[in-house]
Structure 1
């Protein structure tokens, strides 16, 4: 693997200053890794500023606005990453679609919208990344997916989200065995409730007592565990769902 190939990461879903994806970009860039991130419906001025912020860390930075519900999104993204920065050896599938529902309102459109982003785009990015990786005969790669604790407890009112994000855990475990012979690890991270774009003061008040460490999880907490899984130190960890929740108490 060449020097340039060893230093490119692809991160989906960095659309806001408080996103988990944004924190991941910052953390990996601070380690000298070139960054390519995707975003959707973001403030253009902020995107330009964020590109400059990442570049100021001494790395290359490129980005793309793309709707991940498009069936061809994975191929377009990977083609552009390769043309702009070279082939990435880290893939972080962070982007997600979330809309509240429940048994009274769940319908086909809601399911399809969640499936397209949370499952199809994640899965296609994973396998296309792996296929290109194998053709290039690289010796180490990292796929890191994001879940939300669906394996640990119920999420009432979030049926489509819980089902489609839960599928990522099953996919991660099976894909990890297929890709292990290539030297590629495949893991997922569950950061627990994280104080990013979705959290309000009311939600914070409800959640805070459930965190025995006395604070709610931050995007930077997630970024640290992702950076570890992307590192050479984690080369023997694969097929795992890492629950990094600060001791969050369910129920």
Structure 2
């Protein structure tokens, strides 16, 4: 499978976005491409959506390489990323966005439902970040941006696995920020609330909107704007922070 639609220049300002074939990940990829980054766009199985997004980015004058692999599989992560890092260097920006929900009340939640959500969110964070990090440290610079959730700040009934995974990602963000500050690698998180994506399409968004101070759900592009800021020079003195994009929902 040809995973690139344009020749990538060595030394390009690269942004790696996981889970980027649709929803928030796709919006982040588009925005970072607009910001001038060359995209490494990861996805697991949405080939048609990923190829369409790549073609859109290339048509707009950007560079985009598709990287189909499962972030929860450590071997796949290394096999795909290590040769690219050796050839092009570490990405300047890593956006850990890959994730999914598998909702159920805990009393009825299977071990597979618990494990799979944590493997993708936290295992995927570890697998991708630990693969990219050595080269990022040698370069003494970079940005790691984790897509968390208000569910990890407040807790949501029926989402104990998802909330636990996102809370863990927030804790990892803060700890890693302290570890890497002396290497000039900034680590931050964005915590979306209710955003209009496939993941929320089955929810009663009209009634949910009445509980949000801004009286509407958010758009993926509004999350992407905060990621863009964290990736910019304007965020050069910000690390270990979590920015909520939730329309004013109280997170405690």
User: Could you state the TM-score of these two structures normalised by the residue count of structure 2?
Assistant: 0.89
- Worse-matched range after superposition: 144-153 or 189-198: 144-153
Q: Secondary structure at the match of 1:145?
A: strand
Q: Secondary structure at the match of 2:154?
A: coil
Q: Please give the residue correspondences for 1:98-247 in structure 2 after superposition, counting only pairs within 5 Å.
A: 98-135=101-138, 138-200=139-201, 202-247=203-248
Query: What is the match of residue 39 of structure 1?
Result: 43
Q: Secondary structure at the match of 2:161?
A: helix
Report if aligned partners of 2:142, 2:185 keep a CA contact under 8 Å in 1: yes
Structure 1 residues 37 and 152: alpha-carbon distance in aligned structure 2, compared to 1, 3 A threshold: same
Query: What is the match of residue 70 of structure 1?
Result: 73
Report if aligned partners of 2:82, 2:131 keep a CA contact under 8 Å in 1: no
Task: State the Cα distance separating 1:86 from its structure 2 match.
Answer: 4.3
Query: What is the match of residue 55 of structure 2?
Result: 52
- Worse-matched range after superposition: 72-81 or 57-66: 72-81
- Provide the rounded CA distance (Å) in 2 between the counterparts of 1:84 and 1:56: 25
- Provide the rounded CA distance (Å) in 2 between the counterparts of 1:59 and 1:69: 28
Gaps of 5+ in 1: none
Structure 1 residues 182 and 107: alpha-carbon distance in aligned structure 2, compared to 1, 3 A threshold: same
Of 88, 92, 100 in structure 2, the residue corresponding to residue 89 of structure 1 is 92
Task: State the Cα distance separating 1:112 from its structure 2 match.
Answer: 1.5
Report if aligned partners of 1:5, 1:89 keep a CA contact under 8 Å in 2: no
1:25 aligns with 2:29: yes
Query: What is the match of residue 9 of structure 1?
Result: 15
Deviations 1:50-72 (A, max 9, x none): 11111122221101221222132
- Provide the rounded CA distance (Å) in 2 between the counterparts of 1:80 and 1:208: 46
- Worse-matched range after superposition: 124-133 or 239-248: 124-133
- Provide the rounded CA distance (Å) in 2 between the counterparts of 1:7 and 1:15: 20
- Provide the rounded CA distance (Å) in 1 between the counterparts of 2:83 and 2:217: 36
RMSD value, Cα = 2.2
Aligned structure 1 segments of 4 or more residues deviating by more than 6 angstroms: none
- Provide the rounded CA distance (Å) in 2 between the counterparts of 1:202 and 1:175: 34
User: Could you state the TM-score of these two structures normalised by the residue count of structure 1?
Assistant: 0.89
Report if aligned partners of 1:210, 1:249 keep a CA contact under 8 Å in 2: no
Gaps of 5+ in 2: 1-8
Count of residues in correspondence between the two structures: 244
